[in-house]
Amino acid sequence: MLRFDFSFMFEPNVKGGITEEEFEECKPLVAKAVDAVVKSRPGFVKVILDRSHMDAIEDINQWVLSFNNLVVIGIGGSSLGAVALVNALTPPDWNYLSKQERKGYLRIFFLENVDPDQTAAVLDEIDPRETLFAVISKSGSTAECLAHYQIVRGLLQIRGLKPSNHIVFITDPKKGFLRKIASEEKILALEIPPDLGGRFSVLSPVGLLPASAIGVDVKALIDGARDAYVKCSDLKVEANPAAMIALCHYLHKKKGRTITVMMPYSNRLYSLADWFRQLWAESLGKKYSLSGEVVNEGLTPVKALGVVDQHSQLQLYMEGPDDKTITFIEVEKFDRDVLIPSIHTEEEISYLGGKKLADLLKSELIGTERSLAANGRPSMRVIFPTINAYDIGQFFMYYEFATALMGQLLNINPYDQPGVELGKQITYSLMGRKNYEHIQFPEPVKRVV
Ligand code: PA5
């Protein structure tokens, strides 16, 4: 069961933290937001209560397991959740293990960025005959995804392999190019519910198919999210982790702390910070309020890795502008641990001998947290007792719900992303897409050195 420690968001633990009066005053506002989000029944809640998505994954499980590789083709909300799941719930050397060592589950690769070096390397690594390609796009029109889709279709064609034997689409139930191709060519297509935005879709087939392909207990993942949702619906703010996340960030934002750093002390959980980064950046960064005023709202999410970034970012967090809150992610018990042997007797090294790496990691987390607190820099902790599917499911739900709450508190729509449209249209125009020739964009006055 995931736990949250908000102690260092508050006075008196942190000078300049949230005071008791501020907390009491804000609670009714946050409780109202909780009520509003629950009543609005958002897509990310409906999806975990709808068994049909898990059934759809179970129905094709045997077929999926007949392959050796899964290549996930998608970008943004159509990949970051699955990347986070895979990195959290498989060992770092997963793709190098034999099929037997993987207990029959699949090696997994992502074609996300259209970086030719990266794509070529992935394609070199897989044998298309033993590969399933999951093409994931809610809109079915994302350029990066459609480019990769055509590349793998080309590959299948060269090898004389039938697309419908090697491709599964995950897309809107009715709309978009992928849905059209699916019905024309009888390619299997799983559904992303229409009211579920990409960055909220990890607990739909978008994340469930990759998760099941690598042997994640999908039921535990969903159970975790469901149990978290029960807590998310609690109007008692101090008992509701999502409400507390939103309240703390909202109040610290008012104090000028508009940057939120997520810093897992775990390589396996580092990609959760990537998933969170997209969730808060796209959901909360908005030009207009719900009432149509220009507000240029948002919090800037930043990721950092403990302890690595203690040697890179911490100086800034300690002594730079007081514009940040830090969320540490702690793992209480790692799957494995490594003993540091006592080799030398000199004082500057001997204290490490006989300790374990997890002890060092934990001490470093506490050292960072307490030194920041001593310097008036607020933080919170998300505590994973172990890394498991149930708690990862909880994490997704708590942060999705907290995002919806932040939308309420900031009076913006967290479910759209109008700001990315112009860039897409310019790309279409540059790539010669029909009907986009007219898109205007300024040519800069050059200042190239
Ligand atoms: O959260 C979002 O809506 C976006 O990040 C999308 O997931 C991303 O742009 C990919 O879109 P699509 O799934 O339509 O290909």
197 CA distance to ligand 1 middle (Å): 7
> How far lies 298's CA from each of 251, 256, 400, 415, in Å?
13, 12, 16, 13
Print pLDDT tens along the chain (449 aa): 999 999 999 999 999 999 999 999 999 999 999 999 999 999 999 999 999 999 999 999 999 999 999 999 999 999 999 999 999 999 999 999 999 999 999 999 999 999 999 999 999 999 999 999 999 999 999 999 999 999 999 999 999 999 999 999 999 999 999 999 999 999 999 999 999 999 999 999 999 999 999 999 999 999 999 999 999 999 999 999 999 999 999 999 999 999 999 999 999 999 999 999 999 999 999 999 999 999 999 999 999 999 999 999 999 999 999 999 999 999 999 999 999 999 999 999 999 999 999 999 999 999 999 999 999 999 999 999 999 999 999 999 999 999 999 999 999 999 999 999 889 899 999 999 999 999 988 889 999 99
Distance (Å, whole) CA 273 – CA 368: 18
Q: Residue 139 CA: which ligand 1 atom is closest?
A: 14
75 CA distance to ligand 1 middle (Å): 7
Does 138 sit in the ligand 1 pocket, CB within 6 Å?
yes
The residue ranges of every structural domain in the chain are 3-40+220-410, 44-217
Does 197 sit in the ligand 1 pocket, CB within 6 Å?
yes
Contacts of 159 (CB under 8 A, 6+ apart): 128, 129
Contacts of 166 (CB under 8 A, 6+ apart): 128, 131, 132, 133, 156
Q: Which amino acid is at 31?
A: A
Substitution candidate for ligand 1 out of 44, 72, 73, 75 with most atoms within 8 A of CB: 75
Q: List the structure tokens of 264.
A: 């897992």
Does 199 sit in the ligand 1 pocket, CB within 6 Å?
yes
Asked whether the domain spanning 44-217 has the same topology as the one spanning 3-40+220-410, the reply is yes
φ, ψ (nearest 5 deg) of residue 353 = -60, 135
Does 417 sit in the ligand 1 pocket, CB within 6 Å?
yes
Q: What is the CATH number of domain 3-40+220-410?
A: 3.40.50.10490
**DSSP-assigned states of every residue in 344-403:** --SHHHHTTTT-BHHHHHHHHHHHHHHHHHHTT--EEEEEESS--HHHHHHHHHHHHHHH
Q: Residue 197 CA: which ligand 1 atom is closest?
A: 3
228 CA distance to ligand 1 middle (Å): 25
Does 210 sit in the ligand 1 pocket, CB within 6 Å?
no
403 CA distance to ligand 1 middle (Å): 17
185 CA distance to ligand 1 middle (Å): 24
Does 257 sit in the ligand 1 pocket, CB within 6 Å?
no
Q: What is the pLDDT of residue 348?
A: 96
Q: Are 123 and 155 in contact (CB under 8 A)?
A: yes
Could you give the residue numbers annotated as active site? 282, 311, 424
Q: What is the pLDDT of residue 440?
A: 85
Does 77 sit in the ligand 1 pocket, CB within 6 Å?
yes
Q: Residue 75 CA: which ligand 1 atom is closest?
A: 10
Distance (Å, whole) CA 33 – CA 232: 11
Substitution candidate for ligand 1 out of 139, 146, 172 with most atoms within 8 A of CB: 139
Closest CA to 372 of 431, 313, 417: 313
Question: Exposed, middle or buried: residue 441 (CB in 10 Å: 0-12, 13-18, 19+)?
Answer: exposed
417 CA distance to ligand 1 middle (Å): 9
- The residue whose CA is least distant from atom 9 of ligand 1 is 76
Closest CA to 285 of 399, 402, 406, 112: 406
Substitution candidate for ligand 1 out of 72, 80, 142, 206 with most atoms within 8 A of CB: 142
Contacts of 410 (CB under 8 A, 6+ apart): 250, 284, 286, 289, 295, 297
Does 282 sit in the ligand 1 pocket, CB within 6 Å?
yes
The CATH superfamily assigned to 44-217 is: Glucose-6-phosphate isomerase like protein; domain 1 (3.40.50.10490)
Q: What is the pLDDT of residue 442?
A: 83
Distance (Å, whole) CA 67 – CA 70: 7
- The residue whose CA is least distant from atom 12 of ligand 1 is 137
Distance (Å, whole) CA 446 – CA 449: 9
Substitution candidate for ligand 1 out of 138, 415, 425 with most atoms within 8 A of CB: 138
196 CA distance to ligand 1 middle (Å): 10
Q: Which amino acid is at 144?
A: E
